[in-house]
Amino acid sequence: MTRKIGVIGTPGKWSTESLADALEARTGYRQVIDMSQAVLDLEAGTLHCADVDLCQLDGLILKKIAEDYSPDALDRLEMLRVAEASGVRIFSPAVSVLRLMDRLACTMTLRAANIPMPATTVTEDEGAALAALQRYGAAVFKPLFSTKARGMMLLDSDTADAAARIAAFRQANPVIYVQQKLDLSGEDLGMVFLNGEYLCTYARVGQSGSWNTTIHSGGRYAPYEPSEELIELGRRAQAPFGLTFTTVDIAMTPDGPIVFEVSAFGGYSGALKGCGMDAATMVVDHVLGEVSR
């Protein structure tokens, strides 16, 4: 029997299309779903994207719910819960991803699990945010909804106009998330897991002159061999979220490893370019095994 598995993502994007290609090769069915076109009819119990009723599929792989993280993207995840209620398996489950898209929700879950993280202050008070910056010496101000370091601001405690820049940051971010900047020696790590099982680790090596290591800011991928202790840290960090495929962002500091966040959708490109691993095919094989049970 042909299994109809759709890919929720961004049409034309490499990782979305790679998943759709792998599904088509195994099932003969190919469907990329753009949630910006979703129409939820609660009376009829349908969730349509174009001509496809998501509630009638065998499963959905959730690669990207929106091009940019925002509170609006949470509403798209809520809509997917209708498909789940009708019996459609979603990988990763909508509720699991909901707990990750808001940076504060992710941070609170990691801290509750006793995962080491940079010192962090969260406040709506600009004066308290400035005081945190003074304590930390240098800090990164992070939007609660963002990826690839977009919208982040680095400040040193001796910045002359720090108060004014914090006030400007708060205009776009009413809740101010302040995280101490640590010495990361120019790289951080992406530790990849599939259904809770460790796959590989890649490094993101920052471009000279950039304070962050994201590929968006000119960083590059490189292979990395972690210790068993570091793998166990990554495993503990991702465990509370119940994700199908994810990447744990880890960095080595002079005081030991710290975790920044757990990815809602995982790093397919990093797994391929940094580890030589075709994560899309592995995810598809796992999903087909699950929906065939």
What is the mean pLDDT of the segment spanning 123-146? Answer: 96
Separation of alpha carbons 286 and 284, rounded Å: 5
What pLDDT does 11 receive? Answer: 96
pLDDT at 285 over 90: yes
Instruction: Based on the fold, state whether residues 150 and 203 are members of the same structural domain.
Output: no
Query: 109 lies in a domain?
Result: no
Report field, pTM of the whole predicted structure over 0.85:
yes
The range of the structural domain enclosing residue 16 comes to 5-91
pLDDT at 207 over 80: no
Instruction: Based on the fold, state whether residues 46 and 131 are members of the same structural domain.
Output: no
Instruction: Based on the fold, state whether residues 139 and 83 are members of the same structural domain.
Output: no
pLDDT at 216 over 60: no
Closest of 201, 275, 271, 219 to residue 19, by C-alpha: 271
The DSSP element (H or E) to which 195 belongs, if any, is none
pLDDT at 247 over 70: yes
Query: 99 lies in a domain?
Result: no
Query: 291 lies in a domain?
Result: no
